[in-house]
Homo-oligomer: A and B are copies of this chain.
Amino acid sequence: MNIWNGQHRRIYMQEVGTRDGFQAEGTFVETRDKIALIDALSETGMAKIEVTAFVSPQAIPALRDAEIVLREIERKPGVVYTALVPNMRGAERAIEARADELNLVMSATESHNLSNLRMTREQSFNGLRQVAASARDVGLPVNISLSCAFGCPMEGDVPTDTVIEWTQRFVEEIGARGVTLCDTTGMAFPQQVAALTARCIERWPQTEFTLHFHNTRGMGLANVLAAIDAGADRFDASLGGIGGCPYAPGASGNVCSEEIVHALELMGYDTGVDLGALIDASKRLPALIGHDTPSQIVKAGRRLDLHPLPADFAAIREPAPLRSSNCSPSAKRFAARC
Q: Which of B189, B246, B297, B317 contacts A266 (CB 8 A)?
A: B189
- Asked if A218 contacts B259 (CB within 8 A), the reply is yes
State whether A219 touches B221 (Cβ < 8 A).
Answer: yes
B267 lies within 8 A of A335 (CB): no
Give which listed residue, B156, B218, B328, contacts A221 with CB less than 8 A.
B218
- Determine if B263 and A300 form an interchain contact, defined as CB atoms under 8 angstroms apart: no
Chain A 280-328 residues near chain B, CB threshold 8 A: 292, 296-297, 299-304, 306-310, 313, 316-317, 320, 322-328
Q: Which residue of chain B is the closest to A103 with respect to CB atoms?
A: B338
A18 to chain B: closest CB distance in Å? 14
Q: Which residues of B contact A309 (CB under 8 A)?
A: 111, 115, 154
Assuming the contacts A217-B262, A299-B250, A334-B116, asked whether A325 and B87 have C-beta atoms less than 8 A apart, the reply is: yes
> Does A84 belong to the interface (CB within 8 Å)?
yes
Q: Is A86 an interface residue (CB 8 A)?
A: yes
Does A73 count as interface, using CB distance less than 8 angstroms? Answer: no
Residues B251 and A299 in contact, CB atoms below 8 Å apart = yes
Max count, chain B CB within 10 A of own CB: residue among A212, A222, A292: A222
Tally of A interface residues using CB under 8 Å: 113
Count of identical protomers in the assembly: 2
- Judge whether A60 is part of the interface by a CB distance below 8 angstroms: yes
Within 8 Å by CB of A184, from B310, B313, B338, lies B338
- Please pick, from B182, B218, B323, the residue contacting A119 in the complex, using a CB distance under 8 A: B323
* Least CB distance, A14 to chain B, in whole angstroms: 11
Contact flag A120-B316 (CB < 8 Å), given A153-B307, A327-B58: yes
Given A156-B306, A218-B297; A114-B267 close (CB under 8 Å): no
Which 6 residue pairs spanning A and B have beta carbons closest together?
Answer: A127-B324, A248-B300, A218-B259, A189-B266, A251-B299, A87-B324
Apart from A116-B336, A118-B328: 20 A-B pairs, beta carbons within 8 A = A4-B190, A56-B327, A59-B332, A111-B313, A118-B316, A123-B323, A123-B324, A151-B304, A154-B308, A180-B338, A187-B304, A189-B263, A189-B266, A189-B267, A215-B296, A217-B263, A217-B302, A219-B221, A221-B221, A248-B301
